[in-house]
Amino acid sequence: MSRPIDASPLAGCWQGRVDADETGDARRWHQVVQPFDAASRGGVTLIGFAVDEGVSRNGGRRGAAEGPTAIRAALANLPVIGEPALHDAGDIACLDDDLEQAQAALGQRVAQALKQGNRPIVLGGGHEVAWGTFQGIAAARPAMPRLLILNLDAHFDLRFAARGNSGTPFFQIHQWCDAHGWAFDYRVYGISPYANTRALFERAQAWGVRWWLDEDLQDGAGTATLVASLEAALADYDAVYLTVCLDVLPGEKAPGVSAPAALGVPLPQIERLVDAVIRSGKLLAADIAELNPARDRDGLTARVAARLVARIAGHGDAAPGA
């Protein structure tokens, strides 16, 4: 069941410091975010996916359902630095462990935001969020010629399982694309060779997935080469769906996830990849996955997630093709 934004529980997230005596523009996010409704045209729409059923099914540590609230709290005090209109469309919940219904509800809300000319940014929640976000993209853009799915992640999330979970979303997307005649153009940056089985590497190769290891993204020089190749590839696509799993980051930078990384990709390198997508002008939708506040330290992972959300939100004021 989906929950629209209202005074409870989301109003408590959007509160914070007010610099009443300051001169100039001293506004913060909590002072400008508005509820998403039928009149919300253009700008960015935040959608919470308060679900960790997929993480649980995948044998992970529960707690990601509290991720959207923690990200909003971290966003609330960020300064307004030129972002477009900011809307909040509330949270999607998971009732009676019905993950599939929650993903479908998320898809409906993502599609609504896209149809109103907004760029949805989904706040997870486990990485099963990706299957829901993709359903919304497919519903809103059924004639999308070429879509690049770009995942910043330590894992392929291409697992086969009897029931969908946080490890299966891109397997499910592949199956949908195969059934509907869509190209499955999937790239992953940050893959850990020690966190994916041989079967997953073989499946990725068989399906034409392009991937780069965490080892390739440890410094600016290596990242610059990959950014250049990504920018060249983006010219061939009409739109990009960007999904960021916070476990792509080093464990000391993002401890609040189900599976902290032993190595991970440094945050500056992740931001360079995100910026390349933004510069292309083709970012259609994005999501941030796997924040588990119960495992966080001093709210650090939530702050990192908020920084990434703000970086994505701060460029452009509408989804391409709106």
Summarised one tens digit per residue, pLDDT across range 282-308 is 999 999 999 999 999 999 999 999 999
Label the pairing between strands 2-3 and 239-245: unpaired
Asked whether the predicted pLDDT for residue 212 surpasses 50, the reply is yes
Please state, in angstroms and rounded to a whole number, the distance separating the CA atoms of residues 63 and 290: 9
pTM above the 0.85 mark?
A: yes
What structural domains and CATH numbers belong to the chain?
2-313 (3.40.800.10)
The predicted structure's pLDDT at residue 150: 98
Task: For the chain, count helices (H), then strands (E).
Answer: 10, 10
Q: Higher confidence at residue 3 or residue 162?
A: 162
pLDDT tens-place string over residues 13-67: 899 999 999 888 999 999 999 999 999 999 999 999 999 999 999 999 899 999 9
Is 260 a residue whose pLDDT tops 90? yes
CB burial class (10 A; 0-12, 13-18, 19+) of residue 57?
buried
Token pair in block for residue 242: 């960007």
DSSP H helices in the chain: 29-32, 53-57, 67-76, 99-115, 129-140, 169-180, 198-206, 220-234, 267-280, 300-313
